[in-house]
Amino acid sequence: MQDLLTGLAFFLIIEGLVYALAPRFLIEMAKLLPSIPERQLRVFGLGAIALGVGCVWLLRG
């Protein structure tokens, strides 16, 4: 449970940094999202999940 909460805390820190340090970039990215095909967003999301799981597996293995 502690690892899950630590992961959530790191997620919040990274999200907060994006909003605090690059709000204009975040707004521009949000404007681009509707023009990206749904399939491409899904593939990117699945790739990010796989990369994250791989990193955790390597670090914890």
In the DSSP assignment, the letter for residue 36 is S
Would you state the structure tokens that stand for residue 49, as one six-digit string? Answer: 């999940």
Length of the chain counted residue by residue: 61
Q: Say how many Å lie between the first and final Cα of the chain, rounded.
A: 18
Q: What is the pTM of this model?
A: 0.70
Q: Supply the pLDDT for residue 25.
A: 93
Band (pLDDT 50/70/90 cuts) for residue 1 is: confident
pLDDT at 34: 95
Tens-digit pLDDT profile for residues 12-55: 999 999 999 999 999 999 999 999 999 999 999 999 999 999 99
Residues 6+ apart with CB under 8 A from 19: 26
pLDDT of residue 5: 93
